[in-house]
Chains A and B, each alone.
Chain A
Amino acid sequence: MKSEVKIHHVSYSYNKNEMQLNDINLNILQGECIAIIGASGCGKSTLTRVINGLIPSFFQGELSGKTFIKEKDIHQLPSWEIGKMIGNVFQDPRSQFFSNEVAGEIAFGCENMGLTHSEIIKRVNQTVKEMGIEDLLNTSIYSLSYGMRQKVAICSAKAMEPDVYVFDEPSANLDLSATYLLADLIKRLKNSGKTSIIAEHRLFYLRGIADRYIFMENGKIIKEYSSNEIQEQKSEALNKKGLRSLRFEDISIPNTDLSGITSPHPISVTGLSKDFKNHQLLKNITFQYDNNEIIALVGANGVGKSTLGKVFAGLMKESSGEILVDGNSKKYKQRIGKIWYIPQDLDSQLFGEDLIDELTTGLDNPDKNIDKAEDILRKLGLIELKNKHPATLSGGQKQRLVLGVAMMRNAPMIILDEPTSGLDFNSMEKVRVLIKEQQKNGTKFLIISHDIEFIARTCNRILKLDDGEITEDYYLENIQDLLKSMNAKEVEKWMC
């Protein structure tokens, strides 16, 4: 087999103290599918940027060593020449698009290559035909689910006909079925002889697809696993490396004795409905907290999970029904601040100039609450960072900080919308531990999530929403039940 990508003694740092990449050597053969794995900050994303040439032209810093694609030194090439050889799919389905419609998006790369009008049309049509999205050509990208957007991203890379594809945490924002769809697409690229390089910490969907797993830590390649070797790894061993579990069946559900936990604020919902433009988004939702159990709200994309969260928290008005807090019916405006809603996108949640200010801003007496804020930062494990600007924190740290804001206000109930998207195992664990501690202190949680591993380790009770109705409601005792509720098996089988 010919060598497709060759990385030769590559080191990189953007400030001199820390090496983001430390003497990386890697030879990737034509047609191979390589997973670069490791915890957040291990350098896996950085390595993808060296391969696609964004380092050092876009991300400045000191780069040494050489990178070859088909024996060409890529750092001697202009960016658009690299672009013809390497297709890219990034993490965030919201920010990698240039056009507002699918057709224009897929054409964008071809236009930049200087192809003629007729050649561009030919390429776009051929790509959508092969990928089976002909009927989406004139659709607005904003109307697509994140899973479909990643498919469009792959199409727009494919239209440029590169031989190598680089994926940087492509599954970070996807739900389960979309992740398997992604896996299927990567498989198809592999079957057509293309080379793929995928940076990830979620491994389950790469089973049977990736040929080699390159494990990185602190900017170095520590170990290489073959596809068989990684199968033999216990999930626990992978978790210790910051990686998510390879098999859901391995995940053990911790035994939580809920009887010891007191429930100071009973909360219940009866007959909650929400109409929107002749359409019933939520239908007659009824449930109540038995105790302080942590409830996971699961269901496919678009069944109304976030709507339920927002109505619950008083950000939207219910069309009918009643929510009782402490035995009293609360109107939607009265629920604001009592039932605390934290959305998926945390950048829009941060207002302070440092972490203390973040926790105290908006309070009546910010100065009197500094001690309390410091206490909470200690619990969050963020006290050393207290003078930093919140925007400089990592994803996991931000998630803990916004939980801290709710703790600061003593909110009796917190709703989290996809709190673990993009988090590696360690960051997920820290969020989990924090939630569990707050549970003991009497806070109620409703967690909207499609992260099986996180739900299994954190939640006590499962509510499944389907087309605006609750179709399942049970206490979680067995991982198989959860997998069934999440349609994990069916989706996987259907894909294979």
Chain B
Amino acid sequence: MSCEKRLRELSGIGALLLTFLACMVSIFTESYYMHALFVIWLAMLLAYLGFVKQSVQYVLLYSFTTFWLIMMIPKGVMIISPMLLGMIYKFIVPIMAAYLTFKIPSGKLIAVFQKSSMPQNILLILVIMIRFIPTISGEIKTIKEAMKVRGLTGSKKKVFFHPLRTVEYVVVPLIFRSIKVGDELAAAAIVRGVENTGKKQSYYETKMSKTDIVILTISLLLLIVCII
């Protein structure tokens, strides 16, 4: 089975529950060894689903962070903020799981929301946020380029003495553009029947696949071991 096919087997509910379990591990684990075990499990999972490079990167980051926290901080080497390291240590588990959630089609997640009896308005907000967030960095990049051409970011002095003006330069075009995209999105949604209040089903499967069940069972067992 190819990696892509394996990833396709991961359902929205599977990815969400995995992220949830990972968060629980991050919150409740006190043992370093169990924490490390879960990181290794997630790294294996990432590699199995085709993200070998990312898996290696996470493990390296994790090893470096743990090493620094155990070996360097007690010696008083504070070049890197201990809090930042603590944060990385704490959040690397949920981030690794969330990475998988971002890599499956967003439609799979929406299908899960669709099935839950969440109010229509909240559902629609989530759908649009998931659709819109990936485009924000691109929009900001274009605005930054325009500011560069005009010398609006030009000198650090300008940014330092007129920080609000600089924020205004970024925020104003960003909002105009977003409102425009939003209105066009809304129109496109209405003509495709989004206002229908009846019960809706999804293109993506909302039942758990075998892959889901295997992944979640192992994760759950590890979580239980972690807490005890």
List residues of A whose CB falls within 8 A of some B CB. Answer: 52-54, 57-58, 78-80, 82-84, 86, 88, 90, 92, 94-101, 103-104, 107-117, 120-121, 124, 138, 142, 156-157, 160, 310, 313, 315, 336-337, 340-341, 343, 345, 347-351, 361-362, 391, 405, 409
Decide if B193 touches A112 in the complex (CB within 8 Å): yes
B interface size (C-beta, 8 A): 54
Decide if A94 touches B190 in the complex (CB within 8 Å): no
**Interface stretch (choices B42-50, B87-95, B178-186, B213-221):** B178-186
Decide if B203 touches A120 in the complex (CB within 8 Å): yes
Decide if A54 touches B107 in the complex (CB within 8 Å): no
Decide if B201 touches A99 in the complex (CB within 8 Å): no
Contact of A114 among B131, B152, B189, B199 (CB under 8 A): B199
Within 8 A of A (CB), among B125-177: 127-128, 130-131, 134-135, 139, 142-143, 145-152, 168-169, 172-174, 176-177
Q: Which residue of B lies closest to A105 (CB)?
A: B107
Decide if B149 touches A54 in the complex (CB within 8 Å): no
Number of cross-chain contacts by CB at 8 Å: 170
Q: Which residue of A lies closest to B152 (CB)?
A: A362
Q: A98-B131, A348-B177 are in contact. List 10 more A-B contacts (CB 8 A).
A: A83-B193, A98-B188, A100-B134, A104-B203, A111-B200, A111-B203, A112-B193, A337-B149, A348-B139, A391-B176
Q: Which residue of B lies closest to A124 (CB)?
A: B203
Q: Which residue of B lies closest to A316 (CB)?
A: B145
Contact of B203 among A53, A117, A349 (CB under 8 A): A117
Decide if B106 touches A100 in the complex (CB within 8 Å): yes
Contact of A100 among B105, B190, B200, B201 (CB under 8 A): B105
Decide if B177 touches A101 in the complex (CB within 8 Å): no
Given A103-B107, A104-B106, A112-B192, verify A351-B172 contact (CB < 8 Å): yes
Output the least CB separation between A162 and chain B (Å): 10
How would residues 196 to 208 of chain B score, 1 for a CB under 8 Å from any chain A CB and 0 otherwise? Answer: 1011111111000
CA distance A82 to B105 in the complex (A): 29
Decide if B198 touches A114 in the complex (CB within 8 Å): yes
Output the least CB separation between A7 and chain B (Å): 17
Task: Kindly state whether residue B225 has any CB partner on chain A within 8 Å.
Answer: no
Task: Kindly state whether residue B210 has any CB partner on chain A within 8 Å.
Answer: no
CA distance A347 to B127 in the complex (A): 24
Given A100-B105, A112-B192, verify A58-B186 contact (CB < 8 Å): yes
Decide if B184 touches A90 in the complex (CB within 8 Å): yes
CA distance A349 to B172 in the complex (A): 10
Task: Kindly state whether residue B56 has any CB partner on chain A within 8 Å.
Answer: no
Decide if B173 touches A348 in the complex (CB within 8 Å): yes
Output the least CB separation between B10 and chain A (Å): 13
The 8 closest A-B pairs by CB, nearest first: A104-B107, A107-B203, A112-B193, A80-B193, A80-B196, A95-B184, A83-B193, A109-B192
Decide if A92 touches B184 in the complex (CB within 8 Å): yes
Query: What are 5 A-to-B residue pairs whose CB atoms are below 8 Å?
Result: A54-B190, A94-B181, A100-B107, A100-B130, A315-B149
Residue of B172, B184, B187 with highest tally of chain A CB at under 10 A? B187
Q: Which residues of B contact A114 (CB under 8 A)?
A: 196, 198-201
Task: Kindly state whether residue B110 has any CB partner on chain A within 8 Å.
Answer: yes
Decide if B105 touches A138 in the complex (CB within 8 Å): yes
Decide if A97 touches B131 in the complex (CB within 8 Å): yes
Task: Kindly state whether residue B1 has any CB partner on chain A within 8 Å.
Answer: no
Decide if B203 touches A138 in the complex (CB within 8 Å): no
Q: Which residues of B contact A110 (CB under 8 A)?
A: 203
Task: Kindly state whether residue B8 has any CB partner on chain A within 8 Å.
Answer: yes
